[in-house]
Amino acid sequence: MAVQKLGRGLIDRIVKVIDFRVDDRTRGLAARVNDLEHATADHRRRLDSAERSLEEARGDLRWARAELDRLIPHVAAQEGRLETLRESIALVPNADPPQLAEARTLIEEIQRQHAQIRVRLAGISRYEDRLRRLEDRAEQPVTQ
C-alpha cells in the first residue's frame, strides 16, 4: 500500500508537470489561434467589401458598355455627316470679294425673311388660339 501511495504521488507529480508544460504551450497556441481568428474575420470582412465594390464596378461597366453600344451608331452617323460636309466644302469654288459680299447679302436677306415668317407664324398661332377659346366658349351652355 505504501508503494502504491508513493507510486500515485509520483504519477500525480509527473501528470502535474506534464499538464503545466502542455498548458504553457497551449496558452501560446490559443493566443495564436485567437489572433488568426481575428485576422481571418478581418480578411473576410475586407473580402466581402471588395466583392461588393467589384460587383458595383461590374454594374457600372455593364451600364457604360450599354451606353457605348447605344452611342456608337450615332457617332458613326455624325462622322458620315462630317465627311459629307468636308466634301461639300472642298467642292465650293473660290469666290472673289464682290461675290462673297453678294452671297452675304443674300444670306442676310434670307435670314431677315425667315425672321418675318416666324413672327407671322407666331401671330397666326395666337390668332388660332384665341379663335379656339372663343369656339370653346360658344359651345358651352349658357347658365342663368
Is there a contact between 103 and 95 (Cβ–Cβ < 8 Å)?
yes
Name the residue among 122, 42, 128 with its Cα closest to residue 114: 122
Kindly list the domain boundaries of the chain, sorted by start residue. 96-144
Task: Quickly state the pLDDT bin for 97 (edges 50, 70, 90).
Answer: confident
Is residue 93 within 8 Å of residue 100, measured between CB atoms?
no
Mean pLDDT lowest for which of 10-19, 45-54, 127-136? 10-19
pTM of the model: 0.39
Q: Which three cell numbers stand for residue 3?
A: 508503494
* Most confidently predicted of 7-21, 24-38, 109-123: 109-123
Is the model more confident about 55 or about 20?
55
Query: In the prediction, which pLDDT does 20 show?
Result: 67
